[in-house]
Copies of this chain bind each other. A is one copy, B any other.
Amino acid sequence: MNAPHLPLPGDARIERLAIVGVGLIGGSLAAALREAGRVDTVVGIGRSQATLDEAIRLGLIDHGFTDAATGVRGADMVVLAMPVGQTGRMLATIAPGVGPRTIVTDAGSTKSDVVAAAREHFAAHMRQFVPAHPIAGDEKSGPSAARANLYRGRNVVTTPLAETDAAAVARVEAMWRSAGAVIHRMTPQQHDDVFATVSHLPHLLAYALVAQVALDPDHERLFSYAASGFRDFTRIAGSHPEMWRDIALANREALLNRLDGYTAQVAQLRAALVTGDGAALERTFALAKDARAEWLRRTGQG
Protein backbone atom coordinates (compact mmCIF):
# COMPACT_ATOMS: atom_id res chain seq x y z
CA MET A 1 0.00 0.00 0.00
CA ASN A 2 1.46 3.36 -0.99
CA ALA A 3 0.91 6.35 1.28
CA PRO A 4 -0.31 9.51 -0.45
CA HIS A 5 1.68 12.74 -0.29
CA LEU A 6 5.08 11.02 -0.43
CA PRO A 7 7.95 13.35 -1.23
CA LEU A 8 8.31 13.21 -5.00
CA PRO A 9 11.44 12.76 -7.05
CA GLY A 10 12.52 16.01 -8.73
CA ASP A 11 11.37 14.86 -12.11
CA ALA A 12 7.78 14.48 -10.87
CA ARG A 13 7.23 18.11 -11.79
CA ILE A 14 5.29 18.40 -15.03
CA GLU A 15 6.28 21.24 -17.31
CA ARG A 16 3.45 21.06 -19.79
CA LEU A 17 0.42 18.90 -19.06
CA ALA A 18 -2.05 18.21 -21.87
CA ILE A 19 -5.48 17.00 -20.74
CA VAL A 20 -7.69 15.51 -23.44
CA GLY A 21 -11.25 16.02 -22.16
CA VAL A 22 -11.51 18.74 -19.54
CA GLY A 23 -14.48 17.37 -17.60
CA LEU A 24 -14.80 16.06 -14.06
CA ILE A 25 -11.93 13.57 -14.37
CA GLY A 26 -9.43 15.63 -16.36
CA GLY A 27 -10.37 18.96 -14.80
CA SER A 28 -10.06 17.60 -11.25
CA LEU A 29 -6.58 16.23 -12.00
CA ALA A 30 -5.51 19.62 -13.38
CA ALA A 31 -6.93 21.39 -10.31
CA ALA A 32 -5.19 18.98 -7.92
CA LEU A 33 -1.79 19.29 -9.63
CA ARG A 34 -2.06 23.08 -9.73
CA GLU A 35 -2.98 23.17 -6.04
CA ALA A 36 0.00 20.91 -5.26
CA GLY A 37 2.29 23.16 -7.33
CA ARG A 38 3.34 20.21 -9.47
CA VAL A 39 2.62 21.60 -12.92
CA ASP A 40 3.78 24.69 -14.81
CA THR A 41 1.37 24.88 -17.77
CA VAL A 42 -1.88 23.04 -18.37
CA VAL A 43 -3.29 22.67 -21.86
CA GLY A 44 -6.84 21.49 -22.41
CA ILE A 45 -8.01 19.65 -25.51
CA GLY A 46 -11.70 19.28 -26.33
CA ARG A 47 -14.24 19.31 -29.13
CA SER A 48 -16.12 22.34 -27.84
CA GLN A 49 -14.48 25.77 -27.70
CA ALA A 50 -17.12 26.86 -25.16
CA THR A 51 -16.09 24.11 -22.75
CA LEU A 52 -12.42 25.02 -23.17
CA ASP A 53 -13.24 28.68 -22.51
CA GLU A 54 -15.13 27.68 -19.38
CA ALA A 55 -12.16 25.60 -18.19
CA ILE A 56 -9.86 28.59 -18.72
CA ARG A 57 -12.29 30.86 -16.84
CA LEU A 58 -12.40 28.34 -13.97
CA GLY A 59 -8.58 28.38 -13.84
CA LEU A 60 -8.29 24.67 -14.68
CA ILE A 61 -6.24 25.16 -17.86
CA ASP A 62 -4.06 27.88 -19.36
CA HIS A 63 -4.73 27.20 -23.05
CA GLY A 64 -7.37 25.33 -25.01
CA PHE A 65 -7.13 23.47 -28.32
CA THR A 66 -9.81 21.81 -30.38
CA ASP A 67 -7.13 20.17 -32.54
CA ALA A 68 -5.62 17.37 -30.47
CA ALA A 69 -2.44 16.82 -32.55
CA THR A 70 -1.56 20.49 -32.12
CA GLY A 71 -2.58 20.57 -28.48
CA VAL A 72 -0.24 17.80 -27.34
CA ARG A 73 2.85 19.33 -29.03
CA GLY A 74 5.55 20.10 -26.47
CA ALA A 75 3.72 18.35 -23.61
CA ASP A 76 5.77 16.10 -21.33
CA MET A 77 2.57 14.50 -19.98
CA VAL A 78 -0.65 13.75 -21.86
CA VAL A 79 -3.70 12.45 -19.98
CA LEU A 80 -6.60 10.99 -21.96
CA ALA A 81 -9.78 11.74 -20.00
CA MET A 82 -12.48 11.47 -22.67
CA PRO A 83 -14.89 8.49 -23.08
CA VAL A 84 -12.93 5.22 -23.18
CA GLY A 85 -14.46 4.15 -26.50
CA GLN A 86 -12.62 7.01 -28.25
CA THR A 87 -9.17 5.95 -27.02
CA GLY A 88 -7.92 4.25 -30.21
CA ARG A 89 -8.97 7.10 -32.48
CA MET A 90 -7.52 9.72 -30.13
CA LEU A 91 -4.17 7.89 -29.86
CA ALA A 92 -3.98 7.78 -33.67
CA THR A 93 -4.80 11.50 -33.79
CA ILE A 94 -2.15 12.61 -31.29
CA ALA A 95 0.62 10.19 -32.43
CA PRO A 96 2.15 12.72 -34.88
CA GLY A 97 2.39 15.33 -32.08
CA VAL A 98 3.98 13.07 -29.50
CA GLY A 99 7.70 13.59 -28.93
CA PRO A 100 10.24 11.06 -27.59
CA ARG A 101 9.99 12.47 -24.02
CA THR A 102 6.18 12.69 -23.93
CA ILE A 103 4.42 10.29 -21.56
CA VAL A 104 0.82 9.36 -22.42
CA THR A 105 -1.59 7.87 -19.90
CA ASP A 106 -5.36 7.37 -19.77
CA ALA A 107 -8.22 7.27 -17.27
CA GLY A 108 -10.43 4.63 -18.84
CA SER A 109 -12.52 2.32 -16.68
CA THR A 110 -11.49 -0.77 -18.69
CA LYS A 111 -7.91 -1.66 -19.52
CA SER A 112 -7.54 -4.67 -21.85
CA ASP A 113 -9.42 -2.86 -24.62
CA VAL A 114 -7.38 0.30 -24.05
CA VAL A 115 -4.18 -1.72 -24.36
CA ALA A 116 -5.45 -3.37 -27.55
CA ALA A 117 -6.37 0.04 -28.97
CA ALA A 118 -2.91 1.38 -28.07
CA ARG A 119 -1.15 -1.58 -29.69
CA GLU A 120 -3.15 -0.90 -32.85
CA HIS A 121 -3.01 2.90 -33.03
CA PHE A 122 0.01 3.85 -30.94
CA ALA A 123 2.39 0.95 -31.66
CA ALA A 124 5.49 3.13 -32.15
CA HIS A 125 5.03 4.71 -28.71
CA MET A 126 4.12 1.79 -26.43
CA ARG A 127 7.15 2.46 -24.18
CA GLN A 128 5.66 5.87 -23.42
CA PHE A 129 2.08 4.70 -22.80
CA VAL A 130 0.96 3.96 -19.20
CA PRO A 131 -2.59 2.53 -18.91
CA ALA A 132 -4.30 3.76 -15.73
CA HIS A 133 -7.71 3.97 -14.07
CA PRO A 134 -8.52 6.49 -11.33
CA ILE A 135 -11.40 5.05 -9.23
CA ALA A 136 -13.34 8.22 -8.59
CA GLY A 137 -16.45 9.87 -9.85
CA ASP A 138 -19.33 12.09 -8.99
CA GLU A 139 -22.98 12.56 -9.92
CA LYS A 140 -22.04 15.78 -11.71
CA SER A 141 -19.89 16.14 -14.84
CA GLY A 142 -18.21 18.84 -16.92
CA PRO A 143 -15.49 21.37 -16.03
CA SER A 144 -17.66 23.08 -13.41
CA ALA A 145 -17.81 19.80 -11.44
CA ALA A 146 -14.00 19.55 -11.26
CA ARG A 147 -12.46 19.84 -7.80
CA ALA A 148 -8.90 19.56 -6.51
CA ASN A 149 -9.81 17.02 -3.81
CA LEU A 150 -11.60 14.46 -6.03
CA TYR A 151 -8.70 11.98 -5.87
CA ARG A 152 -7.65 12.48 -2.25
CA GLY A 153 -7.37 9.01 -0.67
CA ARG A 154 -8.92 7.37 -3.75
CA ASN A 155 -7.40 4.41 -5.58
CA VAL A 156 -5.67 4.69 -8.93
CA VAL A 157 -4.85 1.42 -10.69
CA THR A 158 -1.95 1.38 -13.15
CA THR A 159 -1.55 -1.59 -15.49
CA PRO A 160 1.95 -1.27 -17.00
CA LEU A 161 2.92 -3.71 -19.76
CA ALA A 162 6.19 -5.56 -20.29
CA GLU A 163 7.21 -2.95 -22.84
CA THR A 164 6.24 0.08 -20.73
CA ASP A 165 9.20 2.22 -19.70
CA ALA A 166 9.69 1.98 -15.90
CA ALA A 167 10.47 5.68 -15.58
CA ALA A 168 7.24 6.55 -17.42
CA VAL A 169 5.25 4.42 -14.98
CA ALA A 170 7.00 6.10 -12.03
CA ARG A 171 6.20 9.56 -13.45
CA VAL A 172 2.50 8.74 -13.92
CA GLU A 173 2.23 7.21 -10.45
CA ALA A 174 4.01 10.24 -8.93
CA MET A 175 1.52 12.51 -10.69
CA TRP A 176 -1.45 10.68 -9.19
CA ARG A 177 0.18 10.66 -5.75
CA SER A 178 0.55 14.43 -6.06
CA ALA A 179 -3.21 14.54 -6.53
CA GLY A 180 -3.62 12.61 -3.26
CA ALA A 181 -4.34 9.16 -4.73
CA VAL A 182 -3.16 5.73 -3.58
CA ILE A 183 -1.54 3.65 -6.35
CA HIS A 184 -2.13 -0.05 -7.06
CA ARG A 185 -0.53 -2.02 -9.87
CA MET A 186 -2.21 -4.91 -11.65
CA THR A 187 -2.19 -6.52 -15.05
CA PRO A 188 -4.89 -5.23 -17.43
CA GLN A 189 -6.60 -8.63 -17.14
CA GLN A 190 -6.65 -8.53 -13.32
CA HIS A 191 -8.01 -5.00 -13.42
CA ASP A 192 -10.79 -5.92 -15.83
CA ASP A 193 -11.73 -9.03 -13.88
CA VAL A 194 -11.95 -7.09 -10.61
CA PHE A 195 -14.25 -4.43 -12.03
CA ALA A 196 -16.29 -6.91 -14.04
CA THR A 197 -17.02 -8.65 -10.73
CA VAL A 198 -17.71 -5.83 -8.30
CA SER A 199 -19.13 -3.23 -10.68
CA HIS A 200 -19.99 -4.22 -14.25
CA LEU A 201 -21.78 -7.49 -13.41
CA PRO A 202 -23.99 -5.95 -10.67
CA HIS A 203 -24.97 -3.19 -13.11
CA LEU A 204 -26.02 -5.75 -15.72
CA LEU A 205 -27.94 -7.78 -13.12
CA ALA A 206 -29.77 -4.74 -11.77
CA TYR A 207 -30.75 -3.58 -15.25
CA ALA A 208 -32.03 -7.09 -15.99
CA LEU A 209 -34.29 -7.20 -12.92
CA VAL A 210 -35.90 -3.84 -13.57
CA ALA A 211 -36.35 -4.77 -17.25
CA GLN A 212 -38.01 -8.04 -16.23
CA VAL A 213 -40.51 -6.17 -14.04
CA ALA A 214 -41.07 -3.39 -16.57
CA LEU A 215 -41.77 -5.87 -19.39
CA ASP A 216 -44.29 -7.85 -17.31
CA PRO A 217 -47.97 -7.30 -18.19
CA ASP A 218 -48.54 -6.95 -14.43
CA HIS A 219 -45.79 -4.31 -14.03
CA GLU A 220 -47.99 -1.70 -12.35
CA ARG A 221 -48.98 -4.04 -9.56
CA LEU A 222 -45.43 -5.39 -9.23
CA PHE A 223 -43.86 -1.94 -8.93
CA SER A 224 -46.52 -0.83 -6.45
CA TYR A 225 -45.26 -3.44 -3.94
CA ALA A 226 -41.55 -2.82 -4.49
CA ALA A 227 -39.96 -1.45 -1.32
CA SER A 228 -36.57 -0.35 0.00
CA GLY A 229 -34.82 -3.68 -0.72
CA PHE A 230 -35.79 -3.45 -4.39
CA ARG A 231 -34.87 0.24 -4.48
CA ASP A 232 -31.32 -0.33 -3.19
CA PHE A 233 -30.74 -3.48 -5.29
CA THR A 234 -31.68 -1.56 -8.43
CA ARG A 235 -30.10 1.81 -7.63
CA ILE A 236 -27.32 1.21 -10.19
CA ALA A 237 -29.98 0.53 -12.85
CA GLY A 238 -30.46 4.30 -12.74
CA SER A 239 -27.02 4.68 -14.35
CA HIS A 240 -26.36 6.13 -17.80
CA PRO A 241 -27.39 3.52 -20.46
CA GLU A 242 -24.91 4.58 -23.18
CA MET A 243 -22.01 4.70 -20.75
CA TRP A 244 -22.78 1.22 -19.41
CA ARG A 245 -23.35 -0.15 -22.90
CA ASP A 246 -19.81 1.02 -23.74
CA ILE A 247 -18.31 -0.36 -20.52
CA ALA A 248 -20.05 -3.73 -20.99
CA LEU A 249 -18.80 -4.03 -24.58
CA ALA A 250 -15.30 -2.77 -23.71
CA ASN A 251 -14.99 -5.33 -20.93
CA ARG A 252 -16.93 -8.05 -22.69
CA GLU A 253 -14.54 -10.95 -22.12
CA ALA A 254 -14.14 -10.49 -18.36
CA LEU A 255 -17.81 -9.66 -17.94
CA LEU A 256 -18.96 -12.80 -19.79
CA ASN A 257 -16.61 -14.90 -17.69
CA ARG A 258 -17.97 -13.50 -14.42
CA LEU A 259 -21.56 -13.61 -15.67
CA ASP A 260 -21.15 -17.32 -16.39
CA GLY A 261 -19.72 -17.87 -12.90
CA TYR A 262 -22.68 -16.01 -11.46
CA THR A 263 -25.16 -18.03 -13.51
CA ALA A 264 -23.56 -21.21 -12.13
CA GLN A 265 -23.90 -19.89 -8.56
CA VAL A 266 -27.57 -19.07 -9.15
CA ALA A 267 -28.12 -22.50 -10.73
CA GLN A 268 -26.83 -24.11 -7.51
CA LEU A 269 -29.36 -22.12 -5.48
CA ARG A 270 -32.06 -23.08 -7.97
CA ALA A 271 -31.21 -26.77 -7.60
CA ALA A 272 -31.39 -26.44 -3.80
CA LEU A 273 -34.81 -24.79 -4.15
CA VAL A 274 -36.09 -27.54 -6.46
CA THR A 275 -34.99 -30.33 -4.13
CA GLY A 276 -36.05 -28.39 -1.02
CA ASP A 277 -32.49 -28.49 0.31
CA GLY A 278 -32.90 -25.84 3.00
CA ALA A 279 -29.47 -26.54 4.48
CA ALA A 280 -27.74 -25.70 1.19
CA LEU A 281 -29.75 -22.49 0.80
CA GLU A 282 -29.00 -21.43 4.36
CA ARG A 283 -25.29 -22.26 3.96
CA THR A 284 -24.94 -20.00 0.92
CA PHE A 285 -27.07 -17.22 2.44
CA ALA A 286 -25.04 -17.33 5.67
CA LEU A 287 -21.73 -17.40 3.80
CA ALA A 288 -22.80 -14.30 1.87
CA LYS A 289 -24.12 -12.48 4.93
CA ASP A 290 -20.92 -13.14 6.91
CA ALA A 291 -18.58 -12.24 4.04
CA ARG A 292 -20.44 -8.99 3.45
CA ALA A 293 -20.36 -8.08 7.16
CA GLU A 294 -16.62 -8.79 7.23
CA TRP A 295 -16.09 -6.59 4.16
CA LEU A 296 -18.04 -3.73 5.76
CA ARG A 297 -16.01 -4.10 8.96
CA ARG A 298 -12.66 -4.09 7.13
CA THR A 299 -13.57 -1.05 5.10
CA GLY A 300 -14.90 0.84 8.09
CA GLN A 301 -18.48 0.80 6.77
CA GLY A 302 -19.95 -1.60 9.33
Contacts and interface: CB of A to CB of B under 8 A. Distances in A.
Nearest to A157: B225
A194 B225 contact: yes
A285 B237 CA distance: 7
Nearest to A201: B209
A226 to B, nearest CB: 4
A208 B266 contact: yes
B237 A289 contact: yes
A18 B207 CA distance: 45
A235 B273 CA distance: 22
A287 B209 contact: no
Nearest to A293: B238
Nearest to A290: B214
B209 A205 contact: yes
Contacts of A226: 198-199, 295
A37 B201 CA distance: 53
A204 B266 CA distance: 8
Contacts of A274: 252, 256
Nearest to A213: B197
Contact of A292 (B195, B238, B286): B238
B284 A208 contact: yes
Nearest to A281: B245
A190 B255 CA distance: 35
A288 interface: yes
A244 B286 CA distance: 10
30 contacts: A193-B218, A194-B218, A194-B221, A195-B225, A197-B216, A198-B213, A199-B229, A202-B229, A203-B229, A204-B269, A205-B209, A207-B269, A207-B285, A207-B288, A208-B262, A213-B291, A214-B287, A214-B288, A215-B287, A226-B295, A231-B301, A232-B235, A233-B236, A241-B285, A242-B282, A245-B285, A249-B273, A252-B273, A259-B270, A259-B273
